[in-house]
């Protein structure tokens, strides 16, 4: 309608944890019992935190047959111009994709990553117009090539980053601000990032908290797990505002705070 003023909103797609979360895919952690009821309670607290930090939280249908379905970040890369639907290396996770794609079609044109490429969204870190893609057991070099091809028309640079010892790139490195990252250097080759964005600064995780590199930047506030208080203190010393949330049961599934939501902007 002529004269209508559109406002920009931050949407967070989420999905409640399955009661079969304890059957999730694991790569680097031993399997330990997961309290599904507690996981669901913690996820509700996580969604409340997302809302408090400015997100319009939109819940995808709960599914009992997708143990990893709560980790919606892995199923798409959402940029301002386009959404790229990923292809999981874990066959058990491929049925998570259709519901995520259906939700995103209301907001973005869609492209797909196709065989033989495999890609998880947890392996993609964005700094401005540069996307860094972790090479892990979930994401391969063919995915880097395809993502570069899909995004070249939109002016993005796509660079591979070697990752060792963690499930995803963002398990060990995440964004705290426009030029600030938190990182576990034992897991992530930061030289690959510096070669593209030389001005970026890093704060190291506390060595007693090797899994403390996963944080979610929402506006001017970082959402962090309660499991890494020493790393959080290092971040706060840099003047960054941090809010914490307990996701301990989800962490048993090799999760962090980024993977349980798919956050992007849209107009209303």
The β-bridge partners of 124 are 133
Residue 87 included in any domain: yes
Joined tokens for residue 114:
């196709």
- Which residues touch 149 (CB under 8 Å, ≥6 apart)? none
Q: How far is CA 173 from the centre of its chain?
A: 11
In which band, very low, low, confident or very high, does the pLDDT at 64 lie, cut at 50, 70 and 90?
confident
Q: What percentage of the chain has pLDDT greater than the value 90?
A: 95
The verdict on residue 216 lying in a domain is yes
Instruction: Tell me the CA distances in angstroms from 218 to 54, 92, 98, 141, 143, one per residue in order.
Output: 8, 30, 26, 29, 27
Rounded to two decimals, what is the model's pTM? 0.95
Report the distance separating Cα 109 and Cα 101, nearest Å. Answer: 10
Confidence check: pLDDT of 1 > 60: no
CA–centroid distance for 139 within its chain: 14
Query: How many helical (H) and strand (E) elements, i.e. helices and strands, does the chain have?
Result: 7, 15
> What is the pLDDT, as a whole number, of residue 4?
58
> What CATH number corresponds to the domain at position 179?
3.75.10.10
Structure token pair of residue 130: 């540069």
Question: Does 103 map to a domain?
Answer: yes
pLDDT at 158 over 60: yes
Provide mean pLDDT across the span 7-31: 95
Structural domain count, the chain: 1
pLDDT at 62: 87
Residues designated catalytic? 168, 259
Does 120 fall in a domain? yes
With respect to residue 50, please indicate whether it lies within any of the assigned structural domains. Answer: yes
Residue at token pair 């994709």: 97
Q: Would the pLDDT of 183 be above 90?
A: yes
For residue 3, being part of any structural domain is answered with: no
Domain containing 142: what range? 8-267
**Which of 262, 265, 263, 252 has the alpha carbon at shortest distance from 67?**
252
Residue 2 falls within a domain, yes or no?
no
Q: What gap in Å lies between CA 255 and CA 154, rounded to an integer? A: 30
Distance from C-alpha of 98 to C-alpha of 94, rounded to nearest angstrom: 8
In a domain, 155, yes or no: yes
Q: Which of 3-17, 36-50, 98-112, 194-208 has the lowest mean pLDDT?
A: 3-17
């Amino acid at each position: 309608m002529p004269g209508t003023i559109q406002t920009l909103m931050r949407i967070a797609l989420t999905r409640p944890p399955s009661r079969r979360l304890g059957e999730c895919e694991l790569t680097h952690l031993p399997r330990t019992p997961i309290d599904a009821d507690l996981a669901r309670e913690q996820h509700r607290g996580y969604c409340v935190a997302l809302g408090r930090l400015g997100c319009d939280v939109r819940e995808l249908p709960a599914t009992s047959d997708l143990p990893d379905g709560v980790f919606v970040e892995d199923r798409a890369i959402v940029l301002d111009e386009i959404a790229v639907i990923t292809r999981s290396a874990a066959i058990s996770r491929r049925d998570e994709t259709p519901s995520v794609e259906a939700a995103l079609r209301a907001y973005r044109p869609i492209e797909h990553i196709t065989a033989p490429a495999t890609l998880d969204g947890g392996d993609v870190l964005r700094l401005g117009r540069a996307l860094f893609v972790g090479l892990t057991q979930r994401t391969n070099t063919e995915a880097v090539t395809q993502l570069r091809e899909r995004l070249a028309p939109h002016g993005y640079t796509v660079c591979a980053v070697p990752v060792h010892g963690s499930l995803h790139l963002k398990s060990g490195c995440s964004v705290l601000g426009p030029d600030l990252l938190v990182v576990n250097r034992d897991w992530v080759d930061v030289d690959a990032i510096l070669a593209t964005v030389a001005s970026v600064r890093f704060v190291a995780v506390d060595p007693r908290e090797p899994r403390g590199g996963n944080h979610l930047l929402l506006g001017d506030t970082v959402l962090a797990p309660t499991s890494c208080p020493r790393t959080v203190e290092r971040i706060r010393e840099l003047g960054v505002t941090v809010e914490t949330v307990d996701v301990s049961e989800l962490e048993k599934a090799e999760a962090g705070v980024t993977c349980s939501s798919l956050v992007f902007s849209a107009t209303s």
